[in-house]
Chain A
Amino acid sequence: MSEEPLQIVVKKDLKFENPVAIEGFPDVGLAGAIASMHLIENWGLEEIAYVETPLLPPIMVVHNGELLNPIRIYGNKNYIVLTSEIALPLTLLNSLTKKVVEWLSSVNATMLIALTGIPVENRFEIEKPAVYGVVSNKEHADLLSKHKIEVLQEGFISGIYALFLKECLKAGLPAIALIAQSFLKYPDPGAAAELLTSLSAILSVSIDVKPLLENAEEIRLKARDLIKQTEKVAPSTYRNVEGELPLMYR
């Protein structure tokens, strides 16, 4: 094994067919993480790789008695889904996003879609969270508009998804971020469900969100520790910049 601080360790070599990658790492409301974990289960994806790095705290996960690494990559020949069961420290994000995008380019991924939430003060009053989009190229703006997803025209974005878009821009890998209105401090399965509904429309693929909504209370209970960890290692204050306007207008 090489001396690089972060590596993607492949467990299963799949014959990908121009796969689409979807990332749902823990962030605001865990909307992306809940959505990605639901996708993995709903599509029956198997673990194909994991992230190895000494930059992580000394944590392993146990599922069904099996030891697993906390940052894992699942997939089939058409889709790759990335998720994590622990909060990601800010110091890890640059190397993680860079290495992941390098790997996605090496397996000829055609696009990366980042799933995340944006905290809104009045989420308590909102029955159906809206989903917004950020695109790395203008061609995808039309795709989102066609599905009535408002595309951000001016503003800041921050978080792991912002870094993914940045790395994809550098690598020439098309990328979209889908961002749902969500709670800041609570796991938000409702926001996750809206992300998946939008994803389903964009990819023209079926995603059954009914089990997610039926299990919302259990998800909210099980995700409490993760959202507390996420708030500790990546305080939401850095997301405040998303409410600000950039100085330049062109």
Chain B
Amino acid sequence: MGFPEDFDSLWEDVEGCLEPLVELRETHNAFEIYLDLPYVKGESIEVRFSEDALLVVAECSKAIKFERWGFTQKRTESRYFRKVIKLPHKIDPTKATSHFKNGVLKIRVLKI
């Protein structure tokens, strides 16, 4: 699967997807990635890994549409969060762990 480039606006409509807020932390042997995923339930999250990146797709429990909002948001109905996170180091996906709590996903993956 190709991982497309990130985009700046959080409201760009890419196939009904929103970009989540992401925080990347690095330790000497691992990366910890945190994603803020409101309206998502844990079982609807999918994470895929490549040798130096991960793709997170999470389905929202309801369609997100703000009809009274600005010109962009009004036209969009989003059902997913989607994000490609590129890492500055190769990783071992077989050692990845994840926890989802209070709408925040934490993924920990070891460097190779």
Contact = CB atoms under 8 A, between A and B. Distances in A.
B21 interface: yes
A75 to B, nearest CB: 26
Contacts of A225: 10-11
Given A185-B21, A227-B21, A220 B36 contact: yes
A221 B101 contact: no
B39 interface: yes
Contacts of A227: 21
A220 B38 contact: yes
Contacts of A79: none
Interface residues of A, number: 18
B38 A228 contact: no
Q: By DSSP majority rule, is chain A's interface helix, strand, loop, or mixed? A: helix
Contact of B103 (A184, A217, A222, A228): A217
A69 to B, nearest CB: 17
Contacts of A220: 36, 38, 103
Given A185-B23, A227-B21, A228-B10, A221 B38 contact: yes
Interface in A104-121: 121
A16 interface: no
Contacts of A184: 23
Contacts of B106: 124
B80 interface: no
Interface in B7-34: 10-11, 21-23, 25, 34
Interface string A182-193: 011111001000
Given A220-B38, A221-B64, A186 B104 contact: yes
Contacts of A222: 66
B102 to A, nearest CB: 7
B38 A124 contact: no
Interface of B: 10-11, 21-23, 25, 34, 36, 38-39, 64, 66, 99, 101-104, 106
9 contacts: A124-B34, A185-B22, A185-B36, A217-B103, A218-B38, A221-B38, A221-B39, A221-B64, A227-B21
